[in-house]
Amino acid sequence: MATLIRPDGELHYEVYGEGFPVLLFAPGGLRSRIAMWPSPVDGPPRPWVDWTQALPQAGFTAIAMDQRNAGDSRAAIRADHGWHTYAEDHLALMDHLGFHRFHVLGGCIGGSFCLKAIEAAPRRVTAAVLQNPIGLNPAHPDYFPNSHADWSREQLAARPELDAAALAAFGRAMWDHDFVFSVDRAFVRNCPVPTMLLPGTDIPHPAVISAELAALLSGVEVVTDWRGPECLEQQEQRVVAFLKGSTPL
């Protein structure tokens, strides 16, 4: 596993294959890490394709990473951190690898990372796949703040030197928003890149949020039946075809 040194820590990442680059944002909320892509050896199969394998086989370079303070990545957590902090990490990684333009594909929290990356660098991101995107569930508005509190307790237990007040402020910067948390509806309505949506259906990945994304994103391609072992072949074919069709000549 390779390491990118950041001003406040280090990020671990892996590069697979050769071809046009696709930056992957794994599921897992703030625990988003490379290990979330493949199915565990001793656990049930993932309901999604392992894009670290499928994309290289299709002729792409796949870049997967442990997000800051997930997996093997460690960095500071400050009160003024937020979605922009992750976007800065993502762009720094692509700069480090020498990729000026690239696609993004994100599961769970990765959908919000994708949209933030487009907002931060609209001339660099060439297409986005939003797989099972998170968002504010009107029936469960405390889900992400409560999850953040659990994550913060884990962080403090592992790193007692962290500032609990900074962790709480970071949580507010991340989750005290509506919709998909990282960007607003006006941005999504005017999103400048081609998009594909694999809708969510549960509490952290609300169907209502995916329905709104489908309504707002101009020209979005929606793959309704994508989840589960019986859909993996179709999921892979549709996503690969979309990314190939969106790749600059």
To the nearest whole percent, how much of the chain has pLDDT over 90?
A: 97
Q: What is the 3-state secondary structure (H, E, C) of the chain?
A: CEEEEECCEEEEEEEECCCEEEEEECCCHHHCCHHHCCCCCCCCCCCCCCHHHHHHHCCEEEEEECCCCCCCCEECCCCCCCHHHHHHHHHHHHHHHCCCCEEEEEECHHHHHHHHHHHHCCCCEEEEEEECCCCCCCCCCCHHHHHHHHHHHHHHHHCCCCCHHHHHHHHHHHHCCCCCCCCCHHHHHCCCCCEEEECCCCCCCCHHHHHHHHHHCCCCEECCCCCCHHHHHHHHHHHHHHHHHHCCC
Q: Say how many C-beta atoms besides its own lie within 10 A of residue 82's C-beta.
A: 21
- Tens-digit pLDDT profile for residues 195-212: 999 999 999 999 999 999
Give 36: exposed, middle or buried? Use CB within 10 Å, 0-12, 13-18, 19+.
Answer: buried
Hey, what amino acid is at 18?
Answer: E
Answer for the pair 148, 181: CB distance below 8 angstroms, yes or no: no
- Tens-digit pLDDT profile for residues 3-54: 999 999 999 999 999 999 999 999 999 999 999 999 998 888 999 999 999 9
Tell me the pLDDT band of 126, cut-offs 50, 70 and 90: very high
Give this prediction's pTM.
Answer: 0.97
To the nearest whole percent, how much of the chain has pLDDT over 70?
A: 100
Q: To 10 degrees, what angle do helices 164-175 and 143-158 make?
A: 150
Cα 176 to its chain centre, rounded Å, is 19
